[in-house]
Structure 1
Amino acid sequence: MDFSEILIYIFGFLGALIIMLIVMPGFIRYLHKIKFGQTEREEGLQSHKVKNGTPTMGGIAFILVPVLLYGVASCFSIVSFDMDMLIILLAFVGYGLIGFIDDYIIVVKKDNTGLKPSMKFLMQSVLAIVFYLMYVSHHDTTLWIPLLNVSFDIGLLYFFLIFFMFTAETNAVNLTDGLDGLCAGQMIIALIPFGIFSWLAGYHNLVFFLVLVIGALFGYLYFNKHPAKIFMGDTGSLALGGLLAGVAMILKQEILLILIGFVFVMEVLSVVIQVTYYKRTKKRIFKMAPLHHHFELSGWSETQVVHRFWLAGVVFALIGLWMGVH
């Protein structure tokens, strides 16, 4: 990496960050004006009821800013649109669009019903299949095993792996978005190792885009930290989940996605365990799922949960990074 390339990344990061800091106050005021506010679940924590009316769909901003800046950079031949980047951009925007439809239904009806789960899963599944077909049109179906540094061609099983990655990761990130700053901060932590993997692999286009997204997320986090002035909504969380799955696929780091994003994994597993156990025994393992609510009900403040989950995320990200480079 030469000095000019480093400058491009720095300016990309700062550009996305500064634009977010400039546009977000006006965007928040506009969402207030059109009454696009959050509606907390009736069965949710009482302490979260004060969040009713907080503007949602903030994910629109941190989706559009990186995508538009990438487009501008491509006009100056700083980056280009190859098949890999097309998959990344479509995953980011495509899953964000599903989330936007869900959010729109919620804010218009003023309840948390949104898209029917079956319809949301169908749309997520269709995108996963499309991205798999795009990917195998120019890549093989090998799976890389960290530490052992060996790859196996798993053939048709790769389809099921990719399908699971996209559908599970988008839902896992969505479930994590339940506390002020938790999801955005955790996503920044998870994207940094993948940015390093991209740089080591020589994926200049992907490094630049991830830098843009991280910069935009820092800008968003300034307004989403406790007490949050805006939420990302399903628009943002589904987009980020799709991005993370797409990046892991392009970089052949499918296994490390589980480790680097283990906080997301813990959140979705807590829901699966809670529901399964309750159906069989009518008893609960956790005080409330997803997992972050369990710790809130155990006496941790919202900021304590967020900061400790971030710390856990840093630990898993560092372990994943170490495994990925050895």
Structure 2
Amino acid sequence: MVKIATPKIIKLHLEHGLSRPDAHKPGNPLVAHSGGVALFIGFVSGLILFMLFYPLDASSLAKLVGVALSAGIGFAIGYIDDKKILGGLTKTILSVFTFVPLAVIGFLYPKAIEWGRPVVPIIGRMRMTIIYWLLLPVSVAGTANVVNMLDVLNGIVPGTSIVIFTTLAIISLLKGDTLLFVLTVVSLAVLLAYYPFNAYPARIFNGDSGSLFLGALLGAIAVAFHLEFVVLVLLLPHILNGLFVLVSFRGFREHREIKVRPVLVENGILRSNPDPKAPLTLTRLILHFSGPLTEKEVAEMYIWLEVVAAFLAFLSYLLTPVG
């Protein structure tokens, strides 16, 4: 579905002006925007196909719908931003609504999502009752936004997401959780089909519709299946970059609002901006220590960083007590 739909979406978006200049390439060529449409269509199609051939009980169906709706709200907020350009703070506040479907499902079907204290490696179940409930409303929103902040170069978000969902698919097999396996495998299949279109040189940008969709989906899975710590470790590169961005930009800012760019581009080569006023990002830090690199090389470094995070996340799952 994604391989068929994406070329049509690219053509349609270019015809209707839904495109953006690729600032990291000579001549700043226009590239189709809002690739999240293809990701969302593929994900929903995969879930519908699964439900047609594999009937679910009411509790499992409720959980599936809750996760899908949370991801869908992330997609909708991102798509509005792709077309209307929301402010950074506005977009962040709106993303809190991605948790609403999970809250409703948890209230109507208590057995579908058994809220409780999280389990962490070695320590076991933690006594975080008050903090846990305070953090829940922003849990999915936080994940969505850190994934969105890392969407700076061709292929980074779908590339790192492939590693993340592969890790979660393996964990679902070890847990024996069919529903988690379906969600992760459908997501993985969609990403594998979509990745060639966004990898260097990108024919379509993810847009906020893509990054917020994937981030909200990942956050919803973490909360609904009690994999909070595992997903936290999986997102270490994203969180580190997010912290750099928030500190450097002194809050939530859009890329277009930044006057001094963290990365300089010359003839397709990226290098760290030596200007002390340039904000610190993970990309700038990588280039500072590695020296000038091509966009493709930087994206590959991000994926290898995600592989390391995935190894640590998998290890943390193995060290987590059961029950």
TM, length-normalised to structure 1: 0.80
1:95 aligned partner: 74
Q: Which residue of 2 aligns with 1:16?
A: none
Return closer, same or farther for 1:68/1:224 CA change in 2, 3 Å cut-off. Answer: same
Find the counterpart in structure 2 of residue 147 from structure 1: 122
Deviation, 1:296, is 4.7
Q: Which residue of 2 aligns with 1:117?
A: 88
Q: Does the Cα contact within 8 Å between 1:36 and 1:53 map onto a contact in 2? A: no
Cα drift, residue 51 of structure 1 = 4.3
- Matched with 1:319 is 312
Distance 1:239 1:132 in 2: 18
**Matched-pair contact (CA < 8 Å) for 2:2–2:41:** no
The alignment of Structure 1 onto Structure 2 pairs a total of residues equal to 289
User: Once superposed, which parts of structure 1, at least 4 consecutive aligned residues long, lie more than 3 Å away?
Assistant: 46-52, 78-81, 132-137, 283-290, 293-298
* Offset at residue 128 of structure 1 (A): 2.4
Higher deviation after alignment, 71-80 or 20-29 = 71-80
> What RMSD over aligned residues (CA atoms) do the two structures have, in Å?
2.5
Question: What CA deviation, in whole Å up to 9, does each residue of 1:167-189 have, x standing for no partner?
Answer: 22111111111100011100111
1:203-282 equivalent positions in 2, closer than 5 A: 203-276=177-250
Give the superposition deviation at 1:289: 4.0
Distance 1:135 1:199 in 2: 24
Matched, 1:37 2:8: no
2:296 pairs, out of 279, 285, 303, with 303
* Unpaired runs of at least 5, structure 2: 252-273
Amino acid in structure 1 at the alignment position of 2:312: I
Q: What is the letter of the counterpart of residue 79 of structure 2?
A: F
Greater displacement, 284-293 / 62-71: 284-293
Counterpart secondary structure, 2:33: coil
1: distance between equivalents of 2:82 and 2:133?
Answer: 29
Identify if the C-alpha distance between structure 1 residues 153 and 90 changes in structure 2 by more than 3 Å, giving closer, same or farther.
farther
1:196 to 170, 182, 185: 170
What corresponds to 1:26 in structure 2?
8
Q: TM-score when scaled to structure 2?
A: 0.81
SS in structure 2 at match of 1:115 = coil
The CA distance in 2 between the partners of 1:274 and 1:188, in whole Å, is 29
* Stretches of structure 1 lacking an aligned partner (at least 5 in a row): 1-18, 41-45, 106-113, 278-282
Residues 172 and 50 (structure 1), Cα distance of their counterparts in 2 relative to 1, 3 Å cut = farther
Q: How far off is 1:265 after superposition?
A: 0.9
SS in 1 for 2:164: helix
User: Quick check: 1:72 aligned with 2:72?
Assistant: no
Give, in whole Å, the separation in 2 of the partners of 1:78 and 1:196: 23
Query: The residue matched to 2:118 in structure 1 has which SS?
Result: strand
Aligned to 1:54, the other structure's residue is in SS state strand
* Secondary structure in 1 matching 2:203: coil
